[in-house]
Structure 1
Amino acid sequence: MKSAVVTFPGSNRERDMMHALELVSGRKPAAVWHADTQLPDVDLVVLPGGFSYGDYLRSGAIAARAPIMDAVRAFAEKGGLVLGVCNGFQMLTEAGLLPGALMRNAALTFVCREVLMETASTANRFTAAMQKGATWRCPVAHHDGNYFADADTIRALEDGNRIAFRYAKGTNPNGSINDIAGITNAAGNVLGMMPHPENYVDPLQASTDGRAFFESICNAFAVA
């Protein structure tokens, strides 16, 4: 699997993501700068976590209008896989690639801790090789992770099997509606999630529970 990670001013998880992708896929990801206008020939594009442009205006709002995002939209429209984690999830909603919005955490405080995740859907190319209903450990670190959308949108996400991940066993850290931790677009090739699976892939880290997620993505491009 060939991948690329886009860095914006204020990103702080791009190296974590690149390490995770290389560790699991065996290929070093391409580094893409926010001011670039083209993407390399890859299978997966990742928008990493951090505080792009200092979260000025709204988290992800300026990054969603960066020059590289036109190429990201075109890539997604052609069926390419796009993953946004934390700030990257915020960018995807601001760019209109995913519905809804990420609001301030319900307690109005920055949250940095471990949560339990449930793999709620395997009906997309990101989670197809994961076990539906399984729970796993994953860290979060965000101030604006409270997912919200109108009732019709939530119904469409639920009915369309587009909620990829939920916070499990009462560990919702931000007040997200229906415990939503990650969603996909209707085609299943764009996924946004608030928790950071890239920080739980290496045996040197507190857990390797996030590795199954990246292995599932790689599996989508495995040659039979």
Structure 2
Amino acid sequence: MKFGVIVFPGSNCDRDVAMVTRDLLQQPTRMVWHEDSDLSDLDVVIVPGGFSYGDYLRCGAIARFSPAMQATIKHAEQGKFVLGICNGFQVLTEAGLLPGALMRNRDLHFVCDRVPLKVERADLPWTQAYQPGQIITLPIAHGEGCYYADAQTLKDLEANRQVLFRYCTLTGESTVESNPNGSLNNIAGICNRRGNVLGMMPHPERASDPMLGNTDGIHLFKGLLQMAMGIGR
């Protein structure tokens, strides 16, 4: 399985992701410059965290117009996999690949922490290496991670089971106290209806190396590899 990691001016988590896919999982990985429009050799496109184009207009608002993102939209339309992490999630909503928007955190402060998440479903390639309802811990680092959508969009997301990760307590309850940024419905990560596009604010790539003492994140990538090898639930 070949991965591509988009590199924008301002990306700061691109090498972290490549370290996971290329070094830990031994998968071919290509760094994709934002002006590159040919993604035909890739199976998975990852839009990493950072501050694409300096977030000068609005998080992800400029990145959506880049040649690489226009090619990513076509990549997704073909049913291929797209993962947006943190700023990448913001870019995916701006590009229309995922519904809703990411707004300023509830307390208007940048949040850098490790938080518990509940895996809401484990029947997609992204999550099949987890157990349904499993509580995992992933790092977060964002100032605009508050997920917002109108009431009907939220209703549709829940009805279609598009919420894959939700902020929670260590015992799995979704409470105000366990919500680090004010996201509606404690949403931490969603997919599109087809299930091939995932956006999430927490950083799975920062919880993948055993040297860091937490490997909860690497199972997201391993789920894709299991799918590629024909291993699934």
- Alignment TM-score, normalising by the size of structure 2: 0.93
- Contact preservation (8 Å) 1:24, 1:215: no
CA deviations on 1:63-98 (whole Å, 9 max, x unpaired) are 011111111011100000000000000000000000
Q: For structure 1, which segment, 198-207 or 41-50, has the greater mean C-alpha deviation from structure 2 after superposition?
A: 198-207
Decide which moves more: 3-12 or 161-170. Answer: 161-170
Contact 2:122 2:132 in 1 (8 A): yes
Aligned position for 1:21: 21
Other-structure match for 1:76: 76
The corresponding residue for 2:172 is none
Structure-2 residue corresponding to 1:100: 100
CA contact (8 A) 1:60 1:94 kept: yes
Q: Percentage identity across aligned positions?
A: 50
Q: Distance in 1 between matches of 2:28 and 2:110?
A: 32
SS at match of 1:204: helix
* 2:213 counterpart (190, 206, 218): 206
Look up the match of 1:157: 157
Q: Distance in 2 between matches of 1:198 and 1:56?
A: 25
Task: Answer yes or no: is 1:35 the counterpart of 2:46.
Answer: no
Give the distance between the partners of 1:200 and 1:215, measured in 2 at CA. 13
2:190 pairs with 1:183: yes
**Are 1:4 and 1:40, in contact at CA under 8 Å, matched by a contact in 2?**
no
Q: CA deviation at 1:124?
A: 2.6
Code of the aligned partner of 2:3: S
**Residues 41-56 of structure 1 mapped to structure 2, 5 A cutoff:** 41-56=41-56
Secondary structure of 2:208's partner? Answer: coil
Residues 88-121 of structure 1 deviation map (CA, whole Å, 9 limit, x = unaligned): 0000000000000000000001000100011112
Q: How far did 1:223 drift?
A: 4.3
CA distance in structure 2 between the partners assigned to 1:87 and 1:211 by the alignment: 19
Flag structure 2 segments of 5+ consecutive residues without an equivalent.
170-176
Would you say how many aligned residue pairs link Structure 1 and Structure 2? 224
The answer (yes or no) to whether the contact 1:25–1:218 under 8 Å persists in 2 is no
CA contact (8 A) 2:24 2:209 kept: no
How far apart, in 2, do the equivalents of 1:142 and 1:32 lie?
23
Among 157, 168, 173, which residue is 2:180 paired with? 173
Matched ranges for 1:5-16 at <5 A:
5-16=5-16
Report the Cα offset of residue 122 of structure 1: 2.2
Of 176-185 and 14-23, more deviation after overlay is shown by: 14-23
| TM-score after normalising by structure 1 | 0.96
Shift of 1:2: 1.2
What value does the CA root-mean-square deviation take over the aligned residues?
Answer: 1.2
SS in 1 for 2:211: coil
Describe the SS at the equivalent of 2:22: helix
Q: CA deviation at 1:206?
A: 3.5
Q: Please list every run of 5 or more consecutive structure 1 residues that lacks an aligned counterpart in the other structure.
A: none
What is the alpha-carbon distance in structure 1 between the residues aligned to residue 133 and residue 207 of structure 2?
19
- Superposed structure 1 runs of 4+ greater than 6 Å apart: none
Q: Match of 1:37, as an amino acid?
A: S
SS, match of residue 89 in structure 1: helix
